Structure 1
Amino acid sequence: MPGEGVPLDDRGLAYGDGLFETVLVRDGVPLLWEQHLARLARGGEALGIPLPARATLEALPARAGEGLAVLKLVLTRGSGGRGYLPPEAPTPRLRWQAAPFSPSLSRWRGVAIRHCHLSLAIQPRLAGLKHLNRLENVLARAEWSDPRIAEGLLCDAEGRLVEATCMNLFWWREGRWETPRLHRCGVAGTLREALLTRLDIREVDASPEVLASSEAVCLGNSVQGVWPLTRLEDAEGRPLARWSPGVRHRAFQAEAHGLLGYPRHAGDSTE
C-alpha cells in the first residue's frame, strides 16, 4: 500500500473525508496501539466509514522495521458518491507509510510557545477525532516561522483553551493537573487518553489566562513525548509567562515517557 496512488476522486483527497493515525513504533512494536485503534474506531463510527479488518491493521507495525519509526495510517471513505453526498456502501481506502524517527531531544528540556490568532471552529460531532480536515492547524502553524517557537496554542471560537497545533495541553494548578475538555473541538490525543487513566487529571473549560497562574505547563503527544513550557508569548511575540522546569514537569514527563519507551527524564540517555 505504500507507493500505491490515490485517485483524484478519492473522497479523502477531495473533501478530507477520512481519518488518520500517527503511531510511534519501536522495533516493530507500536506504542499506545490500543488507544490508536480505539480512536480510529470512534472516528469510523462517527463518520460512517467501515474499518479494515483488525488483522490488516495489526500486520502493519512490523513492517516499519527495526529502530524507532513513525507509522502513518490514512483511511478514507474511498471513491464514489455524488459531490458531497457519500456513497451508500463505501469501499474505504487504506494507505500507510513508515519512516525512521528521532524525537526532538532538546525540547524535552523546555520550549517557548505562543498563542495563535486563529480560533478553532466549534463542531461537537467532530470533536476528539483525528479526521483529515486539518486546514485550521495548517493555517495556525503558518502564523510563525521563528525556530525558537516550538508550538502555538489554539482557543475555540468562544475563547476557551483547546490544544496546540499538534499536541495536547496540560497545566498544574491548585494541586492537580488539568487539561482542556475536548467535547466541542480539538483532537483527543492517545497519550492524553492514556495519561487520563493513570494520573489525577481534571478535564476543564478554561480561558488562556489560567496558564500564567499555573505552577507548571506541558505539551505532549504520542510521538514527541512531553515538552515542558519555559516561556509563553502572545500572538504578537510579547512575553506572558515564564517557568523553570521543576519537580512537577519532571514527574509528568516521566509518567508519559514511560508509556512511550523514552527516557523518563530529559537528561537521561536515549539508548
Structure 2
Amino acid sequence: MDCWVDGQPADALSLKDRGLAYGDGLFETIAVRNGQPVLLDRHLARLAHGCSRLALAADQPLIRSELQACAAALGDGVLKLILTRGDGLRGYAPDPSAQARRIMQGSPPAAYPAVHGEQGVRLFPCTTRLSRQPLLAGLKHLNRLEQVLARAEWQDTEHAEGLMLDQAGRVIEGVFSNLFLVRDGGLITADLKRCGVAGVMRAEILFQAESLGIPTQITDIPLEQLQWADEVFVCNSVYGVWPVRACAALHWPVGPLTRKLQSIARALLDA
C-alpha cells in the first residue's frame, strides 16, 4: 500500500487541486501498529475541528473507514492523511459545494535513533518565527512553509529538533513537535491561540497528566522561562516523548516526570 486518492490506489493527482495551488487543506500523520491507527479518535477529532474552521466539507465516517482499511493494509508504519478542497478554477474563491479530496500515503515506521528517547535531544534555536494568525492557530493545515524554513536552519546531527518562537519571542513549539516544561512537579505548555499546532500527543499527555493528578498549565511562555524549568521534553504522535537535554547554553536533566510520561506515550504507541 503506497497511496490512495478518494479510496482508490493512485500515483497521480490533478494539477487543479487547491491543496497544491494554495495549501487549502489539512493533514494528519498517524502511527500504525499491528494494522491499527494509533490515537485515531484524537486525530479524527482534530481533523473534524479543522474542517469546521476551514468550512471544508468532508465525510468523517468514510474517512475513518478508509483510514482503518489503509492501516490494515500497511500493518506497521506511518499513515499520512491529506484533505484538500479538491479541484478549483483559477482564483482564491472556494467552491462552496466542493467535497474534500482524500489522499492517504503509507510509509515504513519512522527510524529515529533510540538515543533520542534514551538520553534526550538538543534543540536548535531557530531564527524563523511563527506568524500570528488566530484563524489558523492550532490547526494542522497544509501551509507549513514556516516549518520548512526553520528545519533548513540546521543540517548537523547534533540537533534532533528545533525550538520555534512567535513574533513576540514567546516559546511555542518544536518544528515537528509540541514542547512541555516541568516546574515544581507540574506541566507547562504553550497557549496556541495565536499560532502553532495543537498536537494529538500534546492533548493525550495533558489528559494523562490530569488523570494522574499532575498539575497542568497552558499559558504564554517567555523565552527566559526556559532557564527555570526543572525538565523539558518534546512530543508528537509518531515518536512519543523525547527528553530535551539542551538548547543553546541551557541544559536540563532527564527527569522523573518526563520518564513517566514517556513510558505512558510508549505504551500507547506500542499497543
1:252 corresponds to:
261
Higher helix share: 2
1:141 corresponds to:
151
Aligned partner of 2:179 among 147, 169, 174:
169
Superposed CA offset, 1:74-126 (max 9, x none) = 10001124411111211321111111204522210211112100110000010
Mapped contact 2:78–2:110 kept (Cα < 8 A):
no
Question: In the alignment, residue 16 of structure 2 is paired with which amino acid?
Answer: D
Q: Please show how residues 110-129 of structure 1 align to structure 2 within 5 Å.
A: 110-129=120-139
1:69 corresponds to:
77
Aligned partner of 1:45 among 38, 48, 52:
52
Equivalents in 2 of 1:176, 1:63: separation in Å?
Answer: 38
Q: Compute the TM-score of the two structures, normalised by the length of structure 2.
A: 0.90
1:23 corresponds to:
30
Shifted more, 74-83 versus 39-48: the winner is: 74-83
Aligned partner of 1:93 among 101, 117, 120:
101
Equivalents in 2 of 1:204, 1:23: separation in Å?
Answer: 27
Equivalents in 2 of 1:244, 1:59: separation in Å?
Answer: 43
| 3-state secondary structure, aligned to 2:154 | coil
Shifted more, 20-29 versus 102-111: the winner is: 102-111
Aligned partner of 1:151 among 147, 161, 170:
161
Question: In the alignment, residue 80 of structure 1 is paired with which amino acid?
Answer: G
| 3-state secondary structure, aligned to 2:128 | strand
| 3-state secondary structure, aligned to 1:59 | helix
Superposed CA offset, 1:206-230 (max 9, x none) = 1111112111000000001111011
| 3-state secondary structure, aligned to 1:119 | coil
Question: In the alignment, residue 232 of structure 1 is paired with which amino acid?
Answer: C
Aligned partner of 2:15 among 5, 8, 12:
8
Question: In the alignment, residue 58 of structure 1 is paired with which amino acid?
Answer: S
Aligned partner of 1:190 among 161, 177, 200:
200
Q: Where in structure 1 are there 5+ consecutive unaligned residues?
A: 234-239, 263-271
Equivalents in 2 of 1:56, 1:129: separation in Å?
Answer: 18
Q: Where in structure 2 are there 5+ consecutive unaligned residues?
A: 210-214
Question: In the alignment, residue 98 of structure 1 is paired with which amino acid?
Answer: G
Equivalents in 2 of 1:258, 1:207: separation in Å?
Answer: 32
The alignment-based identity, stated in percent, is 45
Q: Compute the TM-score of the two structures, normalised by the length of structure 1.
A: 0.90
1:265 corresponds to:
none
Question: In the alignment, residue 43 of structure 1 is paired with which amino acid?
Answer: G
Aligned partner of 1:226 among 235, 241, 252:
241
Aligned partner of 1:204 among 192, 216, 219:
219
How far is the alpha carbon of 1:255 from its aligned partner? 2.3
| 3-state secondary structure, aligned to 2:140 | coil
Shifted more, 8-17 versus 47-56: the winner is: 47-56
Superposed CA offset, 1:52-94 (max 9, x none) = 3413432333433364210100100011244111112113211
| 3-state secondary structure, aligned to 1:250 | helix
Equivalents in 2 of 1:49, 1:60: separation in Å?
Answer: 18
Shifted more, 49-58 versus 7-16: the winner is: 49-58
1:236 corresponds to:
none
How far is the alpha carbon of 1:146 from its aligned partner? 0.9
Equivalents in 1 of 2:192, 2:133: separation in Å?
Answer: 10
How far is the alpha carbon of 1:26 from its aligned partner? 0.5
